[in-house]
Structure 1
Amino acid sequence: MTTDNNNQTPNNDLRQEYRLNARETVYLEEPLDNGPATLLVSTSLDMSANGLRVIADCPLPEGCIMQACVQLKTGERFVLVCEVKWNQPYETDGEYLVGLSLFESEGTDIQKWKEMIAQRCNGTTASS
């Protein structure tokens, strides 16, 4: 992907931080206005200290704040809060690439998440 600060489409990589290519399971809890939340299972394409790109089977409402749980292949889990920034069709019909921005939020594992990303970027742990 290319960076073009004049074009803010999701096809352009505008993040200023290192991304880890990692296929991990991501559970997203989508709140509904008049009922219980819906649990969506997706797969990460890549992740960084402040965001994720996931592959989902439906587009998610842009601007929606939701809880996420990222489960690594090692079994380690991270409970996070994120905002849906964008959606775009992915490689297969019915698949969507979704951009998620992570929030600094009390009661989440955001600090532990950032430490894990930093360790992986420094090569101090095995990468996925």
Structure 2
Amino acid sequence: MSDAQNDQRQEFRLSTAMTVFIELPSAGLAADPEIIITRSLDLSANGLRVIADRELLAGNILRTCVQTQSATGEQLRFTLITEVKWVRPYGAEQEFLLGLSLYESEGSDIASWKAFVARCCDSEFT
């Protein structure tokens, strides 16, 4: 995705670093899922851009957990369902920039996530 395409987003994005855990599919039914730890570059109510130490396949639908702290120091966690929309090499060797789209999914924290992002956007402009 070019910078021109990045600028065509239809919603406000917050440039902020948060820890993002991505659960990769298990190799088998008995296998534990692998979790990779990434960091966000920016986020919105409907998506994230994260930096990962490995390339993921576009089109994969993955469980993701975003972890951050509130202004009062309270630990916040949001479990979300994401789709890898695009992947490209990033900066240092063996780093990849991932574009993740969020799904409206029962059992996820999507409503709480959207409220959190709205509060963050409000605080940037007040």
- 5 Å-filtered alignment, 1:61-76, equals 61-74=57-70, 75-76=75-76
Identify the residue that residue 104 of structure 1 maps to in structure 2. Answer: 104
Deviation >6 Å, runs of 4+ = none
SS in 1 for 2:83: strand
Corresponding position: 1:45 with 2:41: yes
The alignment covers a number of residue pairs equal to: 118
- Aligned-residue offset at 1:36: 3.4
Displacement of 1:17 in angstroms is: 0.4
Instruction: Deviation per CA, 1:70-127: give whole Å up to 9, x if none.
Output: 00134200000000011111111110000000000011110000001111111179xx
RMSD: 1.9
TM-score of the superposed pair, with normalisation by structure 1 = 0.85
Gaps of 5+ in 1: 4-11
1:57 maps to 53
Deviation of the 1:14 alpha carbon: 3.9
Amino acid in the other structure paired with 2:105:
S
Q: Would you say 1:20 and 2:22 are equivalent positions?
A: no
For residue 25 of structure 2, what is the aligned residue in structure 1?
31
What is the SS of the residue equivalent to 1:32? coil
Task: Tell me the percent identity.
Answer: 47
Task: Give the structure-2-normalised TM-score.
Answer: 0.86
State the distance in 2 between where 1:20 and 1:124 align: 9
